[in-house]
């Protein structure tokens, strides 16, 4: 049978951790992490926003995709986390069994293929094996612990791996604009400048490139994350992939790519094909793909992230 036949699937209103407080934390905050029962922090209860009830199953739709956990305390969720509520009464053992089965479907997904649309159609066994009911949960108390282990994130690069930009992004060139084509306006005009987020002026043309992109200037490999639709000159290369990019991951990647600027200058510019061939070193997840969730969480825990 399918997940949607056994469970009601809720894709709830998400929260951003930076918009919560921790003066008197009492509610678990569940994100797309595959560790610590999906709990990345503990936060204050929010007035007029009731937490979701203990006993539900949470599923990461992206990040550590299909990481499935039974929540034993009331909780809030971040983006791209679904909640499963059994349509019939289930014991904790039965819920843990289904979490294990669901997680074993991870191989079907990666950073480019999330589980948003297909979660409900994942097949589950029609019957739970009899040996499941013989398990003594006291021997596996770590599976149901309510402790939240908040630790400083390790940025050590020893276990990072190299990835090719063209394997991660759609890479496109900027455009040439004649000066008589536009006037002053409100649309960002991105050039190869290394200041002001690459924005040299604002013009009155419609944006040629979508927000949630990374721009690389040919002179010096100046790299920035763009959070608005923009125009970009032919001295700029644009990286896009809405399946993985958000403002946190974009800032992390921009910083990493900027570390390559010592290789490039006015006499040796980084052009489109150079960008496609570029290899950058990134945190690696267990499945060998970039660990996007780590990048996002790392930026979020930095000071002043709430100002982004």
Q: Are 48 and 84 in contact (CB under 8 A)?
A: no
β-pairing, 27-30 with 75-77?
parallel
**140 and 173 part of one domain:** no
User: How sure is the predictor about 107, in pLDDT bands with cuts at 50, 70 and 90?
Assistant: confident
DSSP 35-72: SGGGEEEEE--BTTBPPBPTT-EEEESSSSTT-EEE--
CATH number for the domain harbouring residue 34: 3.90.220.20
**218 and 110 part of one domain:** no
- Residue 156, in any domain of the structure: no
How would you class 299 by CB atoms within 10 Å of its CB: exposed for 0-12, middle for 13-18, buried for 19 or more?
buried
The residue out of 110, 144, 178 marking a domain boundary is 144
**39 and 95 part of one domain:** yes
Whether the per-residue pLDDT at 116 is higher than 90: the answer is no
**189 and 105 part of one domain:** no
Condensed to tens digits (0 to 9), the pLDDT of residues 169-193 reads 999 999 999 999 999 999 999 999 9
- Residue 285, in any domain of the structure: yes
The residue out of 96, 115, 144 marking a domain boundary is 144
The residue out of 88, 110, 144 marking a domain boundary is 144
Write out the residue range of the structural domain in which residue 185 sits: 161-307
Question: Which pLDDT score, from 0 to 100, does residue 212 have?
Answer: 96
208 vs 196: CA distance, rounded Å: 19
User: How sure is the predictor about 286, in pLDDT bands with cuts at 50, 70 and 90?
Assistant: confident
Using only C-alpha atoms, the chain has a radius of gyration, in whole angstroms, of: 23
Whether the per-residue pLDDT at 20 is higher than 90: the answer is no
- Residue 272, in any domain of the structure: yes
**128 and 228 part of one domain:** no
**125 and 189 part of one domain:** no
- Residue 165, in any domain of the structure: yes
Whether the per-residue pLDDT at 297 is higher than 80: the answer is yes
Q: In the chain, what percentage of residues exceed pLDDT 90?
A: 61
55 vs 95: CA distance, rounded Å: 9
Whether the per-residue pLDDT at 162 is higher than 90: the answer is yes
**10 and 138 part of one domain:** yes
The length of the chain in residues reads 308
Condensed to tens digits (0 to 9), the pLDDT of residues 118-158 reads 899 999 998 999 988 888 877 665 545 544 454 556 677 88
- Residue 155, in any domain of the structure: no
Whether the per-residue pLDDT at 108 is higher than 90: the answer is no
Question: Which pLDDT score, from 0 to 100, does residue 121 have?
Answer: 92
- Residue 153, in any domain of the structure: no
Give the full edge-to-edge strand order of the sheet including 75-77: 39-43, 27-30, 75-77
**130 and 250 part of one domain:** no
- Residue 149, in any domain of the structure: no
**46 and 128 part of one domain:** yes
The whole-chain average pLDDT of the chain stands at 89
- Residue 13, in any domain of the structure: yes
**223 and 131 part of one domain:** no
**43 and 8 part of one domain:** yes
Name the domain count of the chain: 2
180/109: higher pLDDT: 180
**225 and 130 part of one domain:** no
Q: Are 97 and 132 in contact (CB under 8 A)?
A: yes
DSSP state, residue 199: E
């Amino acid at each position: 049978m399918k997940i949607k036949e056994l469970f009601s699937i809720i894709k709830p209103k998400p929260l951003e951790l930076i918009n919560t407080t921790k003066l008197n934390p009492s509610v678990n905050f569940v994100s797309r992490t595959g560790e610590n029962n999906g709990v990345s922090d503990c936060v204050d209860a929010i007035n007029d926003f009731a937490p979701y009830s203990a006993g539900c199953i949470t599923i990461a739709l992206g990040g550590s995709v299909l990481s499935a956990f039974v929540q034993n305390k009331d909780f809030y969720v971040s983006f791209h986390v679904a909640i499963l509520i059994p349509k019939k009464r289930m014991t904790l053992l039965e819920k843990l069994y289904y979490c294990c089965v669901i997680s074993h479907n991870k191989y079907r997904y990666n950073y480019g293929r999330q589980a948003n649309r297909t979660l409900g159609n994942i097949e589950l066994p029609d019957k739970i094996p009899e040996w499941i009911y013989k398990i003594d949960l006291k021997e596996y108390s770590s599976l149901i612990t309510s402790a939240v282990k908040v630790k400083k994130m390790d940025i050590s690069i020893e276990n990072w791996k190299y990835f090719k930009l063209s394997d991660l992004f759609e890479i496109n060139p900027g455009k040439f604009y004649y000066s008589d084509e536009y006037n002053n306006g409100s649309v960002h005009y991105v050039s190869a400048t290394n200041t002001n987020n690459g924005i040299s002026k604002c013009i009155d043309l419609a944006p040629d490139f979508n927000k949630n992109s990374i721009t690389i200037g040919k002179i010096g490999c100046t790299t920035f994350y763009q959070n608005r639709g923009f125009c970009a000159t032919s001295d700029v290369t644009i990286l896009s992939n809405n399946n993985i990019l958000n403002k946190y991951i974009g800032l992390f990647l921009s910083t990493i790519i900027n570390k390559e600027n010592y290789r490039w200058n006015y006499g040796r510019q980084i052009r489109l094909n150079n960008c496609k061939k570029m290899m950058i070193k990134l945190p690696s997840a267990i499945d060998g793909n970039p660990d996007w969730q780590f990048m996002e969480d790392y930026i979020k825990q930095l000071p002043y992230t709430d100002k982004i």
